[in-house]
Chain A
Amino acid sequence: MTEQYRIGVDIGGTFTDGILLNENTGETRTGKVPSTPDDPSEGFLRVVNRMLGDSEIAPETVKYVVHGTTVATNAIIEGNLAKTAFITTEGFRDLLEIQTGIRPTLYDLQFEKLRPLVPRYLSFGVPERLDFRGDVLIPLDERAMRHIVDELRGEGVESIAVCLLHSYINSEHEERIGEILGEELPTVLYSLSSAVAPEFREYFRASTTVINAAIRPVVSQYLGKIKSRFQGSGISGEWLVMQSSGGVFTFEAAMERPVFMVESGPAAGVIAANHLGKTLGHENVISFDMGGTTAKAGLIENGTPRVTKDYEVGGTAANIEHGARGAGYPIRTPVIDLVEIGTGGGSIAWIDSGGILRVGPHSAGANPGPICYGQGGTEPTITDANLVLGRISADNFLGGEIRLDVDAARKAIKEKCADPLNMAVDEVAVGMIEIANNAMVGALRRVSVQRGYDPRDFLLVAFGGAGPVHANRLAEELEMPTVLVPMSPGTTSAMGLLVTDIRHDYSVALIQRADRIDKDTANVHMQRMKTEGETALVREGIGSDDMRFIRQADMRYVGQSYELTVPLSDGELTSDAIAGLLSRFHQEHERVYGFNAVGEPVEFVALRLSAVGRILEPRVREIAANEGGASVAIKGIRKVYFAECGGRVDCPIYDRYTLGPGDEIEGPAIVEEVDSTVVIHPGNRAVLDRNGNLYLSDGK
């Protein structure tokens, strides 16, 4: 049998990481190249070619490629959006201006309202109106629509969002507008709310659709470019993107509905941490992923990451606490709940007008990158500070591929920060790192403490190129007992792309009372969704033994607006099946809300089917024994600055690949591998398990 492979590629702000999985043996191989922000597909191509070339693997044997990316979220945060117009029902053009009416902060007299992504002069109302049953009250005025088209043409808009009242139940008018736009403005992309997020409550549907429209040109171009790079490469498998929910969908689907991949990259990290935790028997995990540009924290309880459909992006959403809302643009797609902050290895240190040392939010990113990379960076970054303090080595970066320039880093920190503050360079470098750590502790608190979880009950899984450099201090700060640093932490996120099951979610709106439900129609819907799912999985090479179909119904008491999702039994929907379903609904309502109302009428809202293709898990490799103990792995001694020791101390540098199972290391110590550095602070110790994972804990 020919060997078959899967590839995961994770593009971060600084590095592009790849992972190659042999489906037959479960063995993996990783690759890492600097990201190429001007054209990310270049880094993508390079890392794939490197992995295939190094292993002499035929591209034809690649069954599929999964991509995790921050392109969508970056576009929103940086405002790199298409010039977008908004079309809605006449009388309602201000939906995006009015928003929910809620203030995100209760007691702030200086609050600002979220700035709409579409300015008011590009928002249009078109005469038409449906009632709540989807019946036409006012037909679509096509002449008026063509006038709007003329204006859109004059303004040179690049993308259009259409959201008409009650289109979630009858999409005819939206579709007709789509046809007109297609005819009149063939080069302009448009997004219809009935296709992107067919749920009621107009502002939330409109917001989701507007974001979709605004990022679509950027994302389409981006994904299209990646695919075109591989034209003729021989890779004939499926091209998939990770969604914010942790599932995957095809490049084509992503180009249509990019709003589903807003948190694609970060989701992969949480999935990876969960997988790692599970294989090691840890169900409660906090993931901490720090790269060059951002740091992300996610929380996993009982082996399941939190997923929310009540998500906001952009604005000040990232800084909002507790139940506050209205700070960001709402999207109604499932998202793995995580906190992301703009602190990474590339975060720039500067002195503010009040003479205070600050770090970020500006980042040197991949280009020019930190000063020490010698690629034209001029502002001191966190990576420069770590280098100056000896915590990372000048000779180990990317396994020694690039030699880092310590002197340039030191000089810049001195001139830009230390001299103006009249402080020593080392002191300032430590201060920079403390400020960054403080922000990251805040992110870890937000996913745990602020949601009522005690971080001391969780395992901290640290990865990303910079995660293991900082994790020990963060855990100390939060009194978290153990930090786990996986092998090859720089590519952990990419691994997350390959450990998620393939999953296709289908749903159909079916608002009918349970006692009057049309069972035949329901069964036809279920069968149709199952066939669709089956076809998709077959196309992805999943054998029938590895397929699973999960049937569910969304139900509520008549009069409620939020549904509970209740599992449906396999097979046809019969009267008996409905009776069983009803009793599960009442039970679930009791469990979730502490009461039920058995006599009250219950209605169906939607039927759901998920087609899941189980995939082979990567094999966990056991590392070779190291007879001589940890000291054999010491490859040198370096002066490293630790504030706890009052300055620089001789610090042993270990080679991670030489360490064997059970080896113990006392801090202060540094463990180096190709794509990361683990810093073990004084008073802490590290133990290696048989798979090469490093466990850091209090030395006492």
Chain B
Amino acid sequence: MSSETPIDPISFEVIRNSLVEATEEMASALRRSAYSTNIKTRHDFSCAIFDLKMRTVAQSFSQPNHLGSLVETIPRALNAYGISDLHEGDALLVNLPYTGGVHLNDITLISPVFHQEALVGYVASLAHHVDVGGGAPASIGAFREIYQEGIIIPPVKFVRGGEINRDVFDLVLAQVRAKRETAGDFRAQIAANNTGIRRLTSLLDRMGPETVARYIDELIEYTDRRTKSELAKLPHGVFESTGYMDSDGYSDEPVKLVVKLTINDDGLLFDFSGTDEQRLAPINSTFAQTHSGVAFVLKCLIEPDVPVNTGFYRNVHMLAPEGTVVNCTEPYPVVGGWETQLRLTEVILRALADAIPERVPAGTEGMICHSGFGGFDPYRNENYCFLETIAGGYGARANSDGPDAVQPHGKNTANAPIEETEVNYPVRITRYELVEDSEGPGRRRGGLGLRRDYLFPDHEASFTILADRERWGPHGLFGGLPGEKAQYVLNPESDSLELGSKVTIQLAEDDVVSYRTCGGGGYGPPEERDPDDVLRDVRDGRISPERARDIYRVALDTEQWAVDFEVTRSLRSGDVEERGSLR
């Protein structure tokens, strides 16, 4: 097909959607054949297709954070290994953090795709493996260098001519705790890639490789054009913001994150100069992780129907100085890099709030909030590991409240169902509820945080918390108040001991660990909130009548479920005496 032939809009749509649908089928195969709850149910994975030039052409609906990193990993891994050594039925395995990778748990499998014996592109699946060895079950914890974090895999041939490479497979499995589960998850990644290859080659059979290649070029150019024209609508200027994480896991010294955002005719430039230097503590983000966070924000600023591929990613411009917590180097630990990256997203959004206040939410949960544990399963007589990340309150927006208990920004994993978790792992969830009164008050309020309590029967488990937000809750905007802080508590019904946000502890039988995540920040002054909205929240038990009166300054009749407008008016007029008499 010559390049002069006009683009046929129907073929364009068919090819574009076929590619995305192929990644969805990859995701479905991975989910349905995987063993660990983290992958099969929580969807902690992503799939993508790359063309011969190693450009991303389509991605599955999954984890935005992964997607931005696949873009970096695939070309670097392929070039490092050498594509001339790749043959039909081969696949490369890689998790190297500093050259386009992220933390060690996220392992990528890359398969070349051949059509009529010619190399035509690649499919890749990235999955978060619950355990990759290292110093604690689930391979998360406060480590001081990467070598303690688990197995490091440079690009190696994991599948050769359709057969798993036993040597590599055995070597990898020897490093991990839950071997049967991990082996099953690796096979599921192979299933995902095989599915992608099948769908891609059937598209090439149907439309012809030249046609598909030409339409991929057009798809990327189309995406680039639309991205640029969308970004051009943003107000020009320089916008700055600074934020802090509570601690790094070794010291209580907060971790400083700085962004200077410049918007001009060239697009958007995110400059992170001034951010703290990397630390021998688990909070360093790799280049690819930081890139993912920036890409996420950028994608939120353009029309939702603009596709995500290289044409979009080439508009991501950032300056992340090497040797800082947003672009770390070997051997600095990376396992908690996602915590930093997610908070960085918050800092960027805070800067943007000054540019486009109507479009940006107040502070959200802003942390991954890992919960990882493991030990010896007394019911199944084998080692086990489990990992999940707990949702929190979302920030309020100019025209709407922040949703309760959701995964924010670049993470979009699902909750692990309680029943599935208990069927597969020796743990009992004893509470799973919204945290009342945790919202950041405002004209629009933040979402509520989430409580999840774990009890460990009949064995002594090792438990790791890798999270944040125990010192400062998510920020409010324009007079809105911050969300309540998170808490991590041991045995809440008895000792009620506050644990830190980055610890590994050895539990006794029947111990309970309780997470209460933070609420989202508020937007606008709480005294301006519609009293009927306050009434509804109190009626639903989200907010206490005391909080309604003291912070929102709304008086309620909780017998009749009505607003006492007269008292509310005087409360809001600032008549302190009247307020006092109500106490």
Cβ of B22 and Cβ of A452 under 8 Å apart? yes
Cβ of B432 and Cβ of A102 under 8 Å apart? no
Chain A residue with minimal CB distance to B181?
A: A559
Which of B181-240 touch A at CB < 8 Å?
181, 184, 187-188, 190-191, 194-195, 198-199, 203, 206
Which of B396-439 touch A at CB < 8 Å?
397, 399-400, 403-407, 412-415, 417-420, 422-424, 428, 430-434
B331 at the interface (CB under 8 A from A): no
Contacts of B539 on A, CB cut-off 8 Å? 121
Give the residue of A91, A200, A559 whose beta carbon is less than 8 angstroms from that of B430: A91
A166 at the interface (CB under 8 A from B): yes
Question: 1/0 per residue B359-381: CB within 8 Å of A?
Answer: 11100000000000000000000
Cβ of A165 and Cβ of B541 under 8 Å apart? no
Contacts of B432 on A, CB cut-off 8 Å? 91-92, 94-95, 98
Contacts of A562 on B, CB cut-off 8 Å? 31-33, 40
- What is the minimal beta-carbon distance from A478 to any residue of chain B, in angstroms? 7
Chain B residue with minimal CB distance to A168?
A: B419
B516 at the interface (CB under 8 A from A): no
Q: How many residues of A contact B (CB 8 A)?
A: 59
A322 at the interface (CB under 8 A from B): yes
Which of B9-36 touch A at CB < 8 Å?
10, 13-14, 17-18, 20-22, 24, 27-29, 31-35
Cβ of B405 and Cβ of A322 under 8 Å apart? no
- What is the minimal beta-carbon distance from A482 to any residue of chain B, in angstroms? 16
B60 at the interface (CB under 8 A from A): yes
B76 at the interface (CB under 8 A from A): no
Contacts of A131 on B, CB cut-off 8 Å? 422, 428
B43 at the interface (CB under 8 A from A): yes
- What is the minimal beta-carbon distance from B178 to any residue of chain A, in angstroms? 10
Chain B residue with minimal CB distance to A456?
A: B10
A63 at the interface (CB under 8 A from B): no
Cβ of A101 and Cβ of B413 under 8 Å apart? yes
Cβ of B397 and Cβ of A102 under 8 Å apart? no
Give the residue of B21, B195, B304 whose beta carbon is less than 8 angstroms from that of A108: B304
Contacts of A600 on B, CB cut-off 8 Å? 184
Question: 1/0 per residue A194-221: CB within 8 Å of B?
Answer: 0000001111100000000000000000
Cβ of A98 and Cβ of B430 under 8 Å apart? no
Cβ of A594 and Cβ of B17 under 8 Å apart? no
Also in contact, A560 and B195, with CB within 8 A (given A109-B359, A451-B21, A454-B14): no
Question: 1/0 per residue A81-103: CB within 8 Å of B?
Answer: 00000000001111101101111
Which of A110-157 touch B at CB < 8 Å?
110-113, 119-121, 131-132, 137
Give the residue of A108, A165, A452 whose beta carbon is less than 8 angstroms from that of B300: A108
Cα distance, A246 to B422, chains bound together (Å): 35
Contacts of A113 on B, CB cut-off 8 Å? 403-404, 406
Contacts of B203 on A, CB cut-off 8 Å? 452
Chain B residue with minimal CB distance to A204?
A: B417
Cβ of A112 and Cβ of B403 under 8 Å apart? yes
Cβ of B35 and Cβ of A560 under 8 Å apart? yes
Which of A170-227 touch B at CB < 8 Å?
200-204
- What is the minimal beta-carbon distance from A646 to any residue of chain B, in angstroms? 24
Also in contact, A119 and B32, with CB within 8 A (given A94-B433, A101-B413): no
A252 at the interface (CB under 8 A from B): no
Name which of B40, B300, B432 has the most chain A CB atoms within 10 A of its CB: B432
Give the residue of A101, A105, A450, A454 whose beta carbon is less than 8 angstroms from that of B405: A101
Cα distance, A17 to B35, chains bound together (Å): 49
Cα distance, A452 to B18, chains bound together (Å): 4
Cα distance, A597 to B188, chains bound together (Å): 11
A538 at the interface (CB under 8 A from B): no
Cα distance, A137 to B184, chains bound together (Å): 32
Contacts of B419 on A, CB cut-off 8 Å? 132, 165-166, 168, 200-202
Cβ of A593 and Cβ of B540 under 8 Å apart? no
Question: 1/0 per residue B142-182: CB within 8 Å of A?
Answer: 00000000000000000000000000000000000000110
Contacts of A546 on B, CB cut-off 8 Å? none
Chain A residue with minimal CB distance to B62?
A: A323
Cα distance, A631 to B575, chains bound together (Å): 88
- What is the minimal beta-carbon distance from B234 to any residue of chain A, in angstroms? 14
Cβ of B542 and Cβ of A120 under 8 Å apart? yes
B544 at the interface (CB under 8 A from A): no
Cα distance, A91 to B28, chains bound together (Å): 32
Chain A residue with minimal CB distance to B40?
A: A561
Also in contact, A121 and B187, with CB within 8 A (given A200-B420, A450-B17, A560-B40): no
Also in contact, A110 and B13, with CB within 8 A (given A322-B20, A560-B34, A560-B40): no
Cβ of B417 and Cβ of A203 under 8 Å apart? yes
Chain B residue with minimal CB distance to A92?
A: B432
Name which of A119, A132, A322 has the most chain B CB atoms within 10 A of its CB: A132
- What is the minimal beta-carbon distance from B112 to any residue of chain A, in angstroms? 15
Cβ of B420 and Cβ of A100 under 8 Å apart? no
Cβ of B414 and Cβ of A102 under 8 Å apart? yes
Contacts of A557 on B, CB cut-off 8 Å? 35, 184
Cα distance, A132 to B380, chains bound together (Å): 13
Cβ of A121 and Cβ of B434 under 8 Å apart? no
Name which of A97, A108, A131 has the most chain B CB atoms within 10 A of its CB: A97
- What is the minimal beta-carbon distance from B201 to any residue of chain A, in angstroms? 13
Cα distance, A132 to B428, chains bound together (Å): 9
A479 at the interface (CB under 8 A from B): yes
Question: 1/0 per residue A308-339: CB within 8 Å of B?
Answer: 00000000000000111100000000000000
Chain B residue with minimal CB distance to A597?
A: B187
Chain B residue with minimal CB distance to A563?
A: B32
Cβ of B433 and Cβ of A92 under 8 Å apart? yes
A421 at the interface (CB under 8 A from B): no
Cβ of A110 and Cβ of B422 under 8 Å apart? no
Contacts of B430 on A, CB cut-off 8 Å? 91
Cβ of A132 and Cβ of B422 under 8 Å apart? yes
Contacts of A323 on B, CB cut-off 8 Å? 24, 27-28, 60-62
- What is the minimal beta-carbon distance from B274 to any residue of chain A, in angstroms? 25
Which of A549-605 touch B at CB < 8 Å?
557, 559-562, 589, 592-595, 597, 600
A356 at the interface (CB under 8 A from B): no
Chain A residue with minimal CB distance to B541?
A: A120
Cα distance, A451 to B25, chains bound together (Å): 10
B241 at the interface (CB under 8 A from A): no
Contacts of B489 on A, CB cut-off 8 Å? none
Chain A residue with minimal CB distance to B299?
A: A107
- What is the minimal beta-carbon distance from A244 to any residue of chain B, in angstroms? 21
Also in contact, A102 and B191, with CB within 8 A (given A322-B21, A594-B198): no
Cβ of A595 and Cβ of B417 under 8 Å apart? no
Cα distance, A84 to B177, chains bound together (Å): 46
Contacts of A166 on B, CB cut-off 8 Å? 419, 422
Cα distance, A110 to B304, chains bound together (Å): 12
A624 at the interface (CB under 8 A from B): no
- What is the minimal beta-carbon distance from A207 to any residue of chain B, in angstroms? 12
Cβ of A102 and Cβ of B194 under 8 Å apart? no
B64 at the interface (CB under 8 A from A): yes
Contacts of A456 on B, CB cut-off 8 Å? 10
Cα distance, A589 to B188, chains bound together (Å): 11
Cβ of B17 and Cβ of A449 under 8 Å apart? yes
Contacts of A107 on B, CB cut-off 8 Å? 64, 296, 299-300, 304
Also in contact, A109 and B397, with CB within 8 A (given A98-B415, A101-B413, A102-B412): yes
Cβ of A103 and Cβ of B434 under 8 Å apart? no
14 contacts between A and B (CB under 8 A): A101-B407, A103-B407, A103-B412, A112-B400, A112-B403, A121-B541, A131-B422, A202-B418, A449-B14, A450-B17, A452-B203, A559-B35, A560-B34, A600-B184
Can you list the 8 inter-chain pairs with the closest CB atoms, starting with the nearest?
Answer: A594-B194, A593-B191, A452-B21, A113-B403, A323-B61, A120-B540, A559-B35, A562-B32
Residues of A within 8 A of B (CB): 91-95, 97-98, 100-103, 105-113, 119-121, 131-132, 137, 165-166, 168, 200-204, 322-325, 445, 449-452, 454, 456, 478-479, 557, 559-562, 589, 592-595, 597, 600
Sample of 8 more A-B contacts, CB < 8 Å, known A100-B415, A561-B37, A561-B40: A94-B432, A102-B414, A109-B360, A166-B419, A323-B62, A456-B10, A560-B40, A562-B33
